Chain A
Amino acid sequence: MNLALRDVRRHLARFVGTAGGLGLLLSVVIAMQGIYAGMVDDATILTRAMQADLWIVARDTRGPFAESSRLDPSVEARAASVPGVLRARPYTYQLIQREHRGAVMRIALVGLGWPDDPGRSVPLVRGRWLQQPHGEMIVDASLGLGIGESLVLAGEPYRVVGLTKNALTSGGDSVAFMSVADAQLVALDQPSEATVLERQRVVGRLSRTDLGRGQPGLEDLVMDPRWRSPALASPPVAAVLVEVAPPRLAAVQEIMRSWGDVSVYTQGEEESLLLGGVVARARMQIGLFTVILTVTAAVIVMMVIYNLTLEKTHDLAVLKLMGAPRSRLLGLVLQQSWLLGALGYAVAFGLGALVFPHFPRRVLITESISLVAPLATLAIVTMASVLGLSHVMRIDPSRALEG
């Protein structure tokens, strides 16, 4: 006869209620772990999706995600010329915030090196990769845009041609992929008034120089909307992504590190920069929060199990007096703890499946979380039963004779 199950059957409502409460607590612990895993995945998904062996960024910066990096676009050709480099492509990254259909939309714009990179590394759930260098984009489904829908950026419509999933930044912003040229257009977009004022300033400066005074036609040229000063550099890129023949990686990296204007990171180093810089504080915070919640859950389970045992003191004393083997009585407490843990975990799991997809931040239940969470629950409830077990050990059977 299983005494633990008999006791649960007798006090079913209270036991289920306790398991439900424990389940809520466990679901919060699992959610915290899932949010952290999601944050790490979000932080590294962009670097992994780019499938680059080396990231070249501006000298002494930890760009392009941890801080801004402005790199001369000529670095792309320089990198491509290094022996062992298979491919080099530009990369831009910037955060923008726009209103669309009355809602505020934060977008991380990633520029892909067209035509080498039309987004093949981006896992699509619907649609296709970029087929044109201008006016197309692939967006994360969390933006709520559909295939064929257009978003006006820098005064021009950009059509959604592909949808991806879970392409988010470490801050939880959705990512949109377009060609580098388009991303730069959006980044450098100015209101027309600002453009007119800028051109007027150039005309003003010209009029104060001999060149301007000697060639009045220059003023007309400057005011022409199609004009662009040849002295102006091409817009910078955030990084240059390099693919290298595997045996040459170290040599290529060595050469590039000798360049005075860039810093070079491997894929792993780029991910470490992200995790160490952008996510580290959040990781510590979530880690501490998880520890506190875990301890809280353990203490609550401990008190619940202890109280359940305490209430049965007289029953247990009678059973002891009857000569019940110690293992049966300890088993009663342990089995109830385990049952409570199993029910609590089931509640947490079910609740998570229902609720986590609706969280504003991605809750990623990784394989390790799926494996560790039930084992941790088992460990918590087992440790939590220690008080109850020690109480059982201390019960004097003669208490049963005291009425």
Chain B
Amino acid sequence: MEDAVRAVDLSKTYGTGAAAVKALDHVSLTIARGTVAALLGPSGSGKSTLIKALGFVSPADTGEVFFEGKLVVKDGRPLADLASLRRRHLGFVFQKANLTSFLTARENVEIACEFGEKRDGKRRARDLLGYLDVAAREDSYPETLSGGEQQRVAIARALANEPSLILADEPTAALDSVRSRVVMELFRKVAHDRGAAVLVVTHDHRALDIFDVLYAMEDGSIRPYAPGAVTSAVRPDAHALEGASPRVGPQ
């Protein structure tokens, strides 16, 4: 499978001098389409910084990011219209659903279709809500939806532009274990059905079996993660996925 995103030697430092904190330390990572990858690590390990760099929100100081094979960020300088890239090819899911409060569930998905320049947004939004089993709540405002429903709508919104890459930052933090697993399985379904690459930042170790690839971050460095092992590499079944093998470390 083709690569959705490839990061090469990303480094980022917050602050200067003695107060300097290295958030990313020569991080290299490739996520292929159709892969569900998990990113684990303690708070302050650099997960969010990596998500921001891969999501073209806040670039790293040095290093390169390729999107679908094309170099789009080099040493902090954008080489393409990043906002356009986000609205056409990326989907985001957050810890809280972060739905737009003044739009209904359907409109939240529909607006993402518009941004992604997808035709027939209303029908598409309904289809996606149906796919995620929340069609019955399409006219409800976010505040009237349960946490699980909100997160389903958020996933539908992330899928609205048929993204190549979905970045999810602790999407199940506000959910109970049952709903967490349902959401994680949805990501797997989306990746496998629609060929999207999904990177999920999570602390929830109960659902790690769902992921194709596991990464761990610590002090700005990334490495393959295996439950119970400090430095073990990638799960065997992840390697078995043709074209989705994680390539960790400098390329």
Contact = CB atoms under 8 A, between A and B. Distances in A.
Chain A CB count within 10 A is highest, among B84, B100, B114, for B100
A60 interface: no
B60 interface: no
Interface residues of A, number: 25
Nearest to B104: A6
A322 interface: yes
A101 interface: no
Contact of B57 (A11, A326, A397): A397
A318 B92 CA distance: 9
Contacts of B52: 398, 401
Given A10-B141, A400-B98, A322 B110 contact: no
Interface string A1-43: 1010011011100000000000000000000000000000000
B107 A322 contact: no
Interface in B68-121: 83-88, 90, 92, 94-96, 98, 100-103, 107, 110-112, 114-115, 121
Given A1-B110, A323-B83, A401 B94 contact: yes
Nearest to A316: B100
B102 A315 contact: yes
Contacts of A9: 102
B220 interface: no
Contacts of B101: 10, 312, 315
Nearest to B114: A1
Contacts of A48: none
Contacts of B95: 403
Contacts of B86: 321-323
A319 interface: yes
Interface of A: 1, 3, 6-7, 9-11, 312, 314-315, 318-326, 397-398, 400-403
A75 B45 CA distance: 103
B51 interface: yes
B55 interface: yes
A318 B95 CA distance: 12
A7 B103 CA distance: 7
A194 to B, nearest CB: 79
Interface in B2-58: 48, 51-52, 55, 57-58
Contacts of A322: 86-87, 92, 111-112, 115, 157
A398 B141 CA distance: 24
A314 B97 CA distance: 12
A194 B186 CA distance: 108
Contacts of B84: 323
A125 to B, nearest CB: 53
Nearest to B84: A323
Interface of B: 48, 51-52, 55, 57-58, 83-88, 90, 92, 94-96, 98, 100-103, 107, 110-112, 114-115, 121, 141, 157, 169
B174 to A, nearest CB: 9
A323 B88 contact: yes
27 contacts: A1-B107, A1-B121, A3-B103, A6-B102, A312-B101, A318-B100, A319-B100, A321-B55, A321-B57, A322-B86, A322-B87, A322-B92, A322-B112, A323-B84, A323-B87, A323-B115, A324-B87, A397-B57, A398-B58, A400-B92, A400-B98, A401-B51, A401-B52, A401-B55, A401-B92, A403-B94, A403-B95
Nearest to A311: B101
B169 A401 contact: yes
Contacts of B98: 314, 318, 400
Contact of A3 (B58, B92, B111, B141): B111
Contacts of A320: 83
A145 to B, nearest CB: 59
Nearest to A328: B115
Given A323-B87, A324-B115, A10 B102 contact: yes
A234 to B, nearest CB: 81
A398 B52 CA distance: 7
Nearest to A397: B57
B102 A401 contact: no
Nearest to A399: B57
Contacts of A403: 94-96
Contacts of B55: 321, 401
A82 to B, nearest CB: 78
A7 B55 CA distance: 27
Contacts of A1: 107, 110-111, 114, 121
A324 B83 CA distance: 7
B94 A6 contact: no
A260 B57 CA distance: 88
A320 B83 CA distance: 8
Contacts of A315: 100-102
B83 A325 contact: yes
B107 A400 contact: no
Contacts of B51: 401
Chain A CB count within 10 A is highest, among B48, B55, B101, B169, for B101
Nearest to B201: A401
